[in-house]
C-alpha cells in the first residue's frame, strides 16, 4: 500500500471556519500556545497535524476525494487516477468529510490530565476518564 499511496500529498492544514481563534494559534508558529493546557511544546509539524486533526473533526465541508491523483495526458488534459482500483475519471469526485481517524505521530503528553480543560479550550465533548 505504501507504494500505491506514498505519493499522495499530506492534507493541507488551514484555519477552520468558526474555530479561527484556536486553529490560527496552532498555525502561528510564533505563538507559544499558552493557556491551551498543553504540557509540552509542539514542533511545527505536530502543530500542523493537530490542526489538521481538528479541521477534520470540525469542518464538515465536502472535499475532493484524496484517493484520486491528478495526472496529465500528452495533450496536457487533466484526469484523475485512483491507484488502488486503477479507476480513471475526467473529473475528481467530491466526497463528504469523514470524521475521526488516527494521528500517527508520537506527541508525548499533549493535554493535562484534567478533562474539563480539554473540553473548555476545544469545545468538543469529552468523557471523563476513570481515576486509577
pLDDT tens track for 43-72: 888 888 888 888 878 888 888 998 999 999
Note whether residue 42 is domain-resident. Answer: yes
Phi-psi region of 84 (alpha: psi -120 to 50; beta: other; left: phi over 0): alpha
Note whether residue 109 is domain-resident. Answer: yes
Q: Show the domain range for 11.
A: 2-63+102-122
Q: How many domains does the chain have?
A: 1
How much is the pTM? 0.53
Pairing of strands 63-64, 78-82: unpaired
Does 119 or 77 have the greater pLDDT score?
Answer: 77
pLDDT at 101: 65
Note whether residue 23 is domain-resident. Answer: yes
Amino acid at each position: 500500500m505504501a507504494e500505491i499511496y506514498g505519493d499522495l500529498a499530506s492534507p493541507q492544514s488551514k484555519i477552520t471556519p468558526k474555530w479561527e481563534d484556536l486553529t490560527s494559534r496552532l498555525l502561528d508558529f510564533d505563538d507559544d500556545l499558552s493557556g491551551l493546557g498543553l504540557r509540552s511544546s509542539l514542533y511545527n509539524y505536530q502543530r500542523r497535524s493537530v490542526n489538521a486533526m481538528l479541521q477534520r473533526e470540525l469542518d464538515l465541508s465536502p472535499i475532493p476525494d484524496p484517493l484520486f491523483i491528478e495526472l496529465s495526458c500528452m495533450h496536457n488534459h487533466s484526469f484523475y487516477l485512483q491507484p488502488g482500483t486503477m479507476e480513471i475519471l475526467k473529473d475528481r469526485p467530491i466526497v463528504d468529510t469523514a470524521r475521526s481517524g488516527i494521528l500517527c505521530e508520537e506527541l508525548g503528553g499533549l493535554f493535562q490530565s484534567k478533562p474539563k480543560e480539554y473540553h473548555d479550550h476545544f469545545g468538543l465533548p469529552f468523557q471523563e476518564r476513570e481515576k486509577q
